[in-house]
Amino acid sequence: MREMIISELIQALHDLARGFAHFLPRLIVMLILAFAGWVIAYVVKVVLRSILKLIKFDKLSENAGASQLLTRAALPSATELLTRFVFWVAWLGFILLGVSVLGILGLQEQIARFFLFVPRLFVAMFILFLGLLSASFFSRAALLAAVNANVPSPRVLSLAVRSIIIVFVLSIVFEELGLAEQTMLVAFGIAFGALMFGLAIAFGMGGRGLAQRFLEKKFVRGKKEENEDELSPL
Amino acid sequence: METKLAEETFLTDDFLRQLINVGEVDILVGLPTHNNAKTIGSIVHTIQSGILQCFPRERAVIINADGGSRDGSTELVTGASIDDVRPASNLYALRTLHAISTQYASSPASGVALRTILAAAELLRAKACVVLSPESANIEPEWLAKLLHPVRRDGFDLVTPTYRRHKFEGLLITNLLYPMVRALYGVGIREAYTPEFGFSSRLGSHFLAQNAWNDGTGGTGVELRFALAAIAGGYRICQSFLGEKDHIERHAADLVPALRQTVGTLFSALEPDFPVWSTVAGSRPVPTTGADQEVLLEPLRVNRKRLREMFSTGVAELESVFESILSPSTLAELQRIARQGEEEFHYSGELWVKTVYEFAAAYQRSVISRDHIIQALAPIFRGRAFTFLMENRDASAEDVENNIEGLCLEFERLKPYLLQMWKSRE
């Protein structure tokens, strides 16, 4: 009996030692992968930072209105934020790769899902950036056109343009990320519908005179406008 | 020449065939058109009269570059017979006067039209060329001589016109284009942006060879680019007095396109021309045949109140845009005068020049979309126009000229301010 117990204990110790011997190289591989990942992520970060500085990414982000948002949120510059993000995503990718080498059951599937999610995250960020850029551009274009055409409340018009584009872009971003797709779809439908309905009412109620003047100017010949006596600039 | 025709030219085969039929010419008259049937017939007759009167021994051709007219403009050009002119003028040409028309595109583009005319001039080896506007209803036969003789007889390369204008006409030219071109390039051309000008073959070839035809702008302001290329290239320039300038009725909406054609073109030329204008100090007058500029003084109905209101609204509404373009002190000063009433409102020459120079520097840096920078200048210009109208309301022709001269000197005095901004950003 005693010998059996000792034998079982020795067997258990042997199994433990075998298991440890089996696990240790994988742990080392994971650590190597994590270290190599850190080095690669750091190099990618440095290279990316140089490229972004070269293409004046901060200026682009300033034009897009993203820099102002970051400053308000006490975050670093757009270049710094993006390079840090890429660094962490890259390093985390290597760490998860290392973890998958450990062969822990249940983690494999989660890691695979993470790697499938990363490209979508990048695409979503890219769409968000382009969306902010175009929202800024078109809202400014609307503001300038409205001011030069002497349209009343140009800033409201500009804000409306910006809001519509941002709402539209956010809905695309959430759809791309696969987050609360149904909720976002319904929310977008309600928000967009309400906005259009509001604009239709506002235009109908407040824009009657404007529409009348526009139609008169367009179709009624011989009606002189007060602003026709503006001087020729050339 | 054949290799060039076959491989390099953008001209159509049919147009090339017609040019080959013409052979070499002494004088080329370029006529860009787009749905100008109302005026083009009389303009072609005036050109024919001008050639009969002033150049009866020269080989001449009219080149019509058309941007997709659908009203028969091109047929009117090619169908106009010189025999219709002869009985009235009692003059006879010793050479055949050719008239060729080509449609370069289905929509008008002034750059492509001028390029077509320049290419034709180069192929025909024209010694002197003139471009005329198809809208110049008051064109006279003498205009041809006035624009061509300085090239033919005196060896000038570019002849720009001067006009008899109302003191409040062409405010963008008198308050910005003329003084700024003069201050930066050191050459006092009154009408650097003009649809009528004469030029030599060597200047035409020089401009044609410049590879700036496919910049995506469709040639907006190409006439100004042509004049600036002549200045930057050190070509001989003179002015010739033509008479009264057509009054084309323009509306408020025309200001932004006018700014694009003039100020946009000038600002975009400053970057490649920096080595030229950065070394120029002071300015010199351009030799002028006839009057330098005649000013008409009759009363003119102008909606001054609207000008000032649009300035004030613009300064208030575009604050976020101006923050990217203007220095804090200039913006603060603009905001101060925007709050002033009509009587005390005064947009000084110094502040105007600083504003324009800061816009030019912002354009160079592309702080926002360049087209947006140009559009943002429109309300500010209205403020300056208001002050100019108020200052010169009861002014004589001499007073108006003195005020414009004062503004030119202000542009010259503050040129180091622009240079400082320019260099600090390079």
Note whether A56 and A98 are same-domain residues.
Answer: yes
The answer to whether residue A100 scores a pLDDT higher than 60 is: yes
Q: Structure tokens of B397?
A: 């022709």
Q: Is residue A226 part of a domain?
A: no
DSSP A69: H
Q: Which of A60, A147, A223, A228 to probe by mutation at the B interface, max B CB count within 10 Å?
A: A147
User: Which chain B residues touch A137 with a CB distance below 8 Å?
Assistant: 369
Mean pLDDT (chain B, rounded): 88
B325 interfacial to chain A (CB closer than 8 Å): no
| Boundary of a domain, candidates A104, A127, A162 | A104
B381 interfacial to chain A (CB closer than 8 Å): yes
Q: Which residue of A has its CA nearest to B251?
A: A228
Helix then strand then coil, in percent of chain B rounded to 5, is: 55, 15, 35
Look up the domain containing A143 and give its range: 117-217
Which of A141, A227, A234 has the CB atom closest to B251's CB atom?
A227
Q: Which residue, B9, B11, B44, is CA-closest to B29?
A: B44
**Band (B422; pLDDT cuts 50, 70, 90):** very high
**Band (B263; pLDDT cuts 50, 70, 90):** very high
Kindly report the three-state secondary structure assignment for every residue of B310-350.
HHHHHHHHCHHHHHHHCCHHHHHHHHHHHCCCCCCCCCCHH
Q: Is B206 helix (H, G, I), strand (E, B) or coil?
A: helix
**Band (B220; pLDDT cuts 50, 70, 90):** confident
The answer to whether residue A227 scores a pLDDT higher than 90 is: no
Q: Give φ, ψ of B210 to 5 degrees.
A: -65, 135
State mean pLDDT over A68-93. 81
pTM: 0.81
State mean pLDDT over B167-174. 90
Indicate yes or no: CB of B321 within 8 angstroms of CB of A229.
no
Interface of B with A in 166-195 (CB under 8 A): 168-173, 193
Note whether A136 and A190 are same-domain residues.
Answer: yes
Chain B: nearest CA to A164, how far in angstroms? 20
Question: Residue A125: is it exposed, middle or buried by C-beta count within 10 angstroms (0-12/13-18/19+)?
Answer: middle
The per-residue pLDDT for range B33-66, each reduced to its tens digit, is 999 888 898 899 899 889 888 888 889 999 999 9
pLDDT at residue B256, rounded to an integer: 92
Indicate yes or no: CB of A231 within 8 angstroms of CB of B169.
yes
Indicate yes or no: CB of B253 within 8 angstroms of CB of A149.
yes
Q: Compute the half-sphere exposure of residue B326: CA atoms within 13 Å on the CB side of its CA.
A: 25
State mean pLDDT over A105-116. 78
B256 interfacial to chain A (CB closer than 8 Å): yes
Q: Is residue A172 part of a domain?
A: yes
Of A17-31, A84-98, A111-125, B401-415, give the range with the top mean pLDDT: B401-415
The per-residue pLDDT for range A42-62, each reduced to its tens digit, is 999 999 999 988 888 887 777
Query: Residue B161: enclosing H or E segment and its boundaries?
Result: strand B158-166
Please name each of the domains of chain B with its CATH number. Answer: 1-153 (3.90.550), 304-424 (no CATH)
**Band (A224; pLDDT cuts 50, 70, 90):** very low
Separation CA A43–CA A37 (nearest Å): 10
The answer to whether residue B406 scores a pLDDT higher than 70 is: yes
Mean pLDDT (chain A, rounded): 82
Q: Which residue of A has its CA nearest to B374?
A: A144
Separation CA A11–CA B366 (nearest Å): 76
Indicate yes or no: CB of A233 within 8 angstroms of CB of B255.
yes
Tokens 């800033």 sit at which residue?
A155
Chain A: nearest CA to B249, how far in angstroms? 7
- What is the number of other CB atoms lying within 10 angstroms of the CB of residue B406? 12
B368 interfacial to chain A (CB closer than 8 Å): yes
User: Tell me, what CATH number does A155's domain have?
Assistant: 1.10.287
pLDDT at residue A228, rounded to an integer: 42
Note whether A99 and A123 are same-domain residues.
Answer: no
The answer to whether residue A29 scores a pLDDT higher than 60 is: yes
Helix then strand then coil, in percent of chain A rounded to 5, is: 85, 0, 15
The answer to whether residue A225 scores a pLDDT higher than 60 is: no
pLDDT at residue B56, rounded to an integer: 84
The answer to whether residue A226 scores a pLDDT higher than 50 is: no
Q: Is residue A10 part of a domain?
A: no
Note whether A46 and A69 are same-domain residues.
Answer: yes
| Residue that wins the pLDDT comparison between A183 and B411 | B411
Separation CA A65–CA A61 (nearest Å): 6
pLDDT at residue B400, rounded to an integer: 92
Q: Is residue A62 part of a domain?
A: yes
Strand partners, B162: B241
B425 interfacial to chain A (CB closer than 8 Å): no
Which of A143, A148, A225 has the CB atom closest to B256's CB atom?
A148
Q: Which residue, B256, B144, B346, B395, is CA-closest to A234?
A: B256
pLDDT at residue B189, rounded to an integer: 93
Q: Structurally, how many domains does chain A consist of?
A: 2
Indicate yes or no: CB of B262 within 8 angstroms of CB of A234.
yes
User: Which chain A residues touch B310 with a CB distance below 8 Å?
Assistant: 147, 150
Chain B: nearest CA to A226, how far in angstroms? 8
Note whether A60 and A150 are same-domain residues.
Answer: no
Chain A: nearest CA to B89, how far in angstroms? 34
Note whether A125 and A206 are same-domain residues.
Answer: yes
| Boundary of a domain, candidates A59, A81, A104 | A104
Chain A: nearest CA to B423, how far in angstroms? 19
Which of A143, A226, A233 has the CB atom closest to B171's CB atom?
A233
Q: Which residue of A has its CA nearest to B321?
A: A140
User: Which chain A residues touch B258 with a CB distance below 8 Å?
Assistant: 233-234
Q: Is residue A229 part of a domain?
A: no
The answer to whether residue B418 scores a pLDDT higher than 90 is: yes
Chain A: nearest CA to B116, how far in angstroms? 25
Note whether A132 and A206 are same-domain residues.
Answer: yes
Q: Which residue, B293, B158, B315, is CA-closest to B226?
A: B158
The answer to whether residue B243 scores a pLDDT higher than 80 is: yes
Indicate yes or no: CB of B252 within 8 angstroms of CB of A229.
no
Separation CA B160–CA B189 (nearest Å): 8
Chain B: nearest CA to A205, how far in angstroms? 24
Q: Which of B319, B369, B390, B400 to probe by mutation at the A interface, max A CB count within 10 Å?
A: B369
B317 interfacial to chain A (CB closer than 8 Å): yes
User: Which chain A residues touch B169 with a CB distance below 8 Å?
Assistant: 231-232
A interface with B, Cβ–Cβ < 8 A, is: 63, 137, 140-141, 143-150, 154-155, 225-234
Q: Is residue A42 part of a domain?
A: yes
pLDDT at residue B2, rounded to an integer: 46
Q: Is residue A209 part of a domain?
A: yes
**Band (B291; pLDDT cuts 50, 70, 90):** confident
Note whether A67 and A92 are same-domain residues.
Answer: yes
Q: Is residue A110 part of a domain?
A: no
Which of B173, B301, B375 has the CB atom closest to A144's CB atom?
B375
Note whether A155 and A132 are same-domain residues.
Answer: yes
Of A174-188, B92-106, B228-242, give the range with the top mean pLDDT: B228-242
| Boundary of a domain, candidates A104, A125, A142 | A104
In sequence order, what are the residues at sequence separation of 6 or more whose Cβ sits closer than 8 angstroms to the Cβ of residue B234?
Answer: none
B230 interfacial to chain A (CB closer than 8 Å): no
Note whether A144 and A205 are same-domain residues.
Answer: yes
Note whether A122 and A201 are same-domain residues.
Answer: yes
Q: Is B23 helix (H, G, I), strand (E, B) or coil?
A: coil
Chain B: nearest CA to A150, how far in angstroms? 7
Note whether A38 and A96 are same-domain residues.
Answer: yes
The per-residue pLDDT for range B299-347, each reduced to its tens digit, is 777 788 888 999 999 999 999 999 989 999 999 999 999 999 888 999 9
Chain A: nearest CA to B136, how far in angstroms? 14
Which of B303, B317, B385 has the CB atom closest to A155's CB atom?
B317
Indicate yes or no: CB of A232 within 8 angstroms of CB of B385.
no
Chains A, B: CB contacts within 8 A come to 93
**Band (B84; pLDDT cuts 50, 70, 90):** low
- Are B293 and B165 spatial neighbours (Cβ–Cβ below 8 Å)? yes
User: Which chain B residues touch A227 with a CB distance below 8 Å?
Assistant: 251-252, 303, 306
CA distances from A7 to A3, A10, A12, A216, B404 (A): 6, 5, 9, 105, 111
